[in-house]
Amino acid sequence: GIGKTTLAKAVGDVTKEQKLFDEVIMVVVSRVVNITSLQDQTADSLGVKLEEKSELGRAKQLSFSLKSEKKILLILDGVWERLDLTTIGISFDYRHIRCKILMATRDEQVHNYMMCQKKVQLNVLNQKEGIDLIKKHVGVGYDSTVLIDIAKKSFGRV
């Protein structure tokens, strides 16, 4: 509700635009974790066809695909609970993998459990801060009807 997904997408777009990674993959985790769905989303984004039927076999195949020479940014959006990345196929063998992970969660305990290296705390903006942010990034003035319409939708009445 405070823009985690929007911010994660923006990071993905900027890294693609600046060619910081060979691949940028965004996977939606959701409240109820479905390992098969996470594996499928990741594999589809990599252009990999998972041949294995078992979760473990699919994880091994996906892990092998991620250990390429490509630099990969994997965005995990909507992480609601602890997630064992190795069950998906995301291993942390630093000798082989060139994959960075950006995780968007609303739960600080999830962040701590998953031993994230850096944390960016997002706070809800008040109405003035929200309008200033929109003005800055949209490039319109306070009197713009576009700005006023966006502000009304985002922050209630202006």
Instruction: Provide the percentage of residues in the chain whose pLDDT is more than 90.
Output: 16
User: What global pTM score does this model have?
Assistant: 0.69
Neighbour count for residue 11 (Cβ, 10 Å): 18
Determine the Cα–Cα distance for residues 91 and 59; give it in Å rounded to an integer.
Answer: 9
Q: What average pLDDT does the structure give for the chain?
A: 77
pLDDT confidence tier of residue 99, bands split at 50, 70 and 90: confident
Residue type, 42: T
pLDDT for res 158: 46
